[in-house]
Structure formats: structure tokens, C-alpha cells
Copies of this chain bind each other. A is one copy, B any other.
């Protein structure tokens, strides 16, 4: 048995925002040649300071072995991928386009036919774990697509975290992520609601948090967001309220399109919208607790 050293790849990374940049850095640290693409001069400057080659327009996609897209919305994804100046038109045949944004199943499935026309292989790999996970290369990657393409990309994806196989059809990774985000959306607001109740009961919130979080009432989000809820408005922004306005809205739309009544999700979504309306959209999502004051 021979051990083959990982092949350095040329990777174009589209969208080096709060989470895209640390992801791209992990790929670069794994030995690949990464070019970061972003319309924002500030983000490009920051990416360059972190050692990435940067560009405003994805010219490097023409030489890339793989292109990762980590933009925020379905519209941004389609604008980046499609059209005469889009990624698919630029990319070489046989290379791989990896969608890592959370956009829901349909926007990724809509890229299947155009990718096939250009001879580009398509993967659907949304991630969870936030900025903290991205910085440590410890994201969870909900990966779907053709088995051989997933296998060829395993080392590249593994640089960013743990790959969770979700099946061989694109859209399935997004579907797993939707279920994941329903739980995350609800658990954050549940933590806020519980700590708000503790306050109304006249209890010390930190004592309650410690007492309940390691038992049957525990959740990953309670342990992670709970302490930041108690820090108040100036808590470090690890994930903004706006992300969950977007994600809970996306999951609500998916649930609605499937005829599923999802009352907990809707209640949580209303709380993120309420927080955004109160001017907290760029605050840490833990500050959804302010809506209970």
C-alpha cells in the first residue's frame, strides 16, 4: 500500500466574508493555491493580509481545479455561477464547482443542467459550525453529489472540517442543512426564552444556566449562546442575528412549500425578525434574548 501525498490544487474561493475567509485560509494551510474573490475591497484587503491571492472578478476560475462558492443568498449564487461572465462559463471541463452557501435545495438543483452543459462537476456542501468552527477547520460539511466527485474532493473538503455524507444527489446536503437550521433556530430562541424566564423568576441566570445545561434540558446552543446572552448587547459577534433571519426564513419557506406546519420554527423566526426590527441585525444572535425584555 502506497501513501499518495495530497495533490496541491488550484482553488478559487468566491466569497471571503466572515466565514468564507477562515474557510479559505484552512484550504490554503492544507497546501493548496487559493485565490480569494470578493466584490468588497475591504474583504479583499483582509484576505490579502491573511496571505491569500485576491481578485475582484474570478478570472482565476479559468485555471482552477475547484471553485468554492460561499456567498450569502440564492441570487448571489446564481449571479456568480451563471451567464457569460459566470463561473461555469470560465471553468475548464472536468473541474468541480462546490456550493457551500446555505441556499436551500432548489437553487443548487437549478445549477445541475447548466453545469452539465459546461462539463463541470457539481457538489452541494453547505456547512454548520459558525465562524469558530471555520477558524479551527472544524465545520460539519453536509456533502452531496456524485460519489466519485465527492471522493475526488474529499481531501479538499476535509481541510475545512468533518464531511458528513448526505447522498449522491445535489440538494440533499441543503436538505440536511435545512433540518439542522430548524433545530439551531429554535434552540437559540429556546435558550433565550428560558433565561428570560429565569430572570423574571428572580433567579441568577448564570446559576440556572450552569444547573440546567448539562442535564436533560441541555443543547449545544444553550451551552454556546447562553453565556453570550448573559454578556449583553456587546457580546462578541460570532454569528449575527441577520444570519438566522435569513436561515429561519429559508427553512420556513421550504417547510411551507412541503405543506408542513412548523409552529416552533415560525415562533423562532418571528423572534429573529423582531430582533432585527429592533436594530439588532448585526449583533450576535444570542442577543435575540433582548426581545424578551
User: A266 vs B266: C-alpha distance in the bound complex, in angstroms?
Assistant: 12
Query: Which residues does A use to contact B, with CB under 8 Å?
Result: 105, 128-130, 133, 140, 142, 164, 166, 172, 175-176, 178-184, 186-187, 189-191, 193-198, 200-203, 207-208, 211-212, 215-222, 224, 251, 254-255, 258-268, 270-271, 292
Indicate if the CB atoms of A260 and B292 lie closer than 8 Å: yes
**What chain B residues lie within 8 Å of A220 (beta carbons)?**
215-219
Indicate if the CB atoms of A193 and B262 lie closer than 8 Å: yes
**What chain B residues lie within 8 Å of A184 (beta carbons)?**
216-217
Partner of A190, one of B133, B166, B259, B264: B264
Instruction: Considering the complex, give the chain B residue whose CB is closest to the CB of A255.
Output: B197
Please judge, given known A-B contacts A184-B216, A216-B130, A219-B219, whether A264 and B193 are in contact too, CB under 8 Å: yes
Give 21 A-B contacts (CB < 8 Å), ordered by A residue: A105-B201, A166-B211, A172-B203, A175-B202, A176-B212, A179-B197, A179-B212, A179-B217, A180-B211, A180-B217, A183-B190, A183-B218, A193-B265, A200-B255, A200-B259, A218-B219, A219-B219, A219-B222, A263-B270, A264-B267, A266-B267
**What chain B residues lie within 8 Å of A271 (beta carbons)?**
263
Copies in the complex: 2
Indicate if the CB atoms of B216 and A129 lie closer than 8 Å: yes
Classify the interface of chain A: helix, strand, loop or mixed: helix
Indicate if the CB atoms of A197 and B263 lie closer than 8 Å: no
User: A186 vs B197: C-alpha distance in the bound complex, in angstroms?
Assistant: 14
Indicate if the CB atoms of A215 and B129 lie closer than 8 Å: yes
Indicate if the CB atoms of B164 and A179 lie closer than 8 Å: no
User: A81 vs B249: C-alpha distance in the bound complex, in angstroms?
Assistant: 51
| 17 further contact pairs, Cβ within 8 A, besides A186-B264, A216-B220 | A105-B201, A140-B215, A172-B203, A175-B202, A176-B208, A179-B198, A180-B212, A183-B194, A184-B217, A190-B264, A193-B262, A197-B260, A200-B258, A201-B258, A218-B219, A218-B220, A266-B267
Indicate if the CB atoms of A194 and B179 lie closer than 8 Å: yes
**What chain B residues lie within 8 Å of A197 (beta carbons)?**
178-179, 182, 251, 254-255, 258, 260, 262
User: A267 vs B182: C-alpha distance in the bound complex, in angstroms?
Assistant: 15
**What chain B residues lie within 8 Å of A201 (beta carbons)?**
105, 175, 178-179, 254, 258
Task: Give the Cβ gap from A280 to chain B, nearest Cβ, in Å.
Answer: 17
